[in-house]
Amino acid sequence: MPTPEEHLAAADPRMAQLIARSLRYNVKPVGVARAFDALAESIAYQQLSGKAAATIWKRVRALYSKRKFLDPQLVLDTPEETLRAAGLSRSKVAALKDLAAKTIDGTVPTARHLARMSDEEIIARLTMVRGIGTWTAQMLLLFDLGRPDVWPHTDYGVRKGFAKTFGRRKLPTPKQLLRLGEKWRPYRSVAAWYFWRALDQITPNRLDGQLPAGRKSSKRKGADREVRPSLSRAASP
């Protein structure tokens, strides 16, 4: 059975060239994916640079420093002014509290339920939370759950990486990229990874696990933000 890279390379020689010169796809699913923690962090990072968001998120986590994982009830009970003092905007506080409430009432699935749900079912549930759109849900599927066939066709970085790889002067529209992505099933997550990598300056076949300065590994701790080019974060939905 061919590897994901072999499957993608066979689809187009330009894809094969991109894979050959890029850091290998190394996303591994988190042992126990806690959607609440991952989405809370994503909310804190929305519309901010990595450094500024990291500082704010560190302050938020410090409010619950004795806990490895966030407790939705504690977050829900935290006064708004306390979260605002940590650096969260009013809208982000509202989104975080809505996330907590919907985690408590079961709208946001537990790790056990996530494992049994389809990608589409997970996206439908998560996007019921204030401030969580399809793109954010897709990042959780791709980086936290390690789902192999997630296609973030609205992501600016994926669109730009595609255009660069295939020598196109104009970026494909999300609708066009959705259609074009059909050829990379069932490994569209891997294809997205390599289109992000097309925007990096990486030594060919570099396998030491290092990413360019300012990027973190694909493991949790902000993987959906930093493993990709920063421009993709800024312009994504």
Give residue for tokens 């408590």. Answer: 104
For residue 56, what are the contacts with CB-CB under 8 A and spacing of at least 6?
Answer: 44, 48, 86, 87, 88
C-beta separation of 54 from 237 below 8 A: no
For residue 129, what are the contacts with CB-CB under 8 A and spacing of at least 6?
Answer: 39, 95, 98, 99, 102, 107, 108
What gap in Å lies between CA 142 and CA 220, rounded to an integer? 11
Query: Quick one: DSSP state of residue 143?
Result: I
DSSP string spanning 105-131? TTSSPPHHHHHHS-HHHHHHHHTTSTT
What gap in Å lies between CA 12 and CA 190, rounded to an integer? 14
224 an active-site residue?
A: no
C-beta separation of 135 from 154 below 8 A: yes
- CA 57, chain centre distance (Å): 16
Which is catalytic among the residues 77, 155, 200, 224?
155
Instruction: Give, to the nearest 10 degrees, the angle between helix 156-165 and helix 188-197.
Output: 80
- Cβ-based neighbour number of residue 32 at 10 Å: 12
Catalytic residues: 155
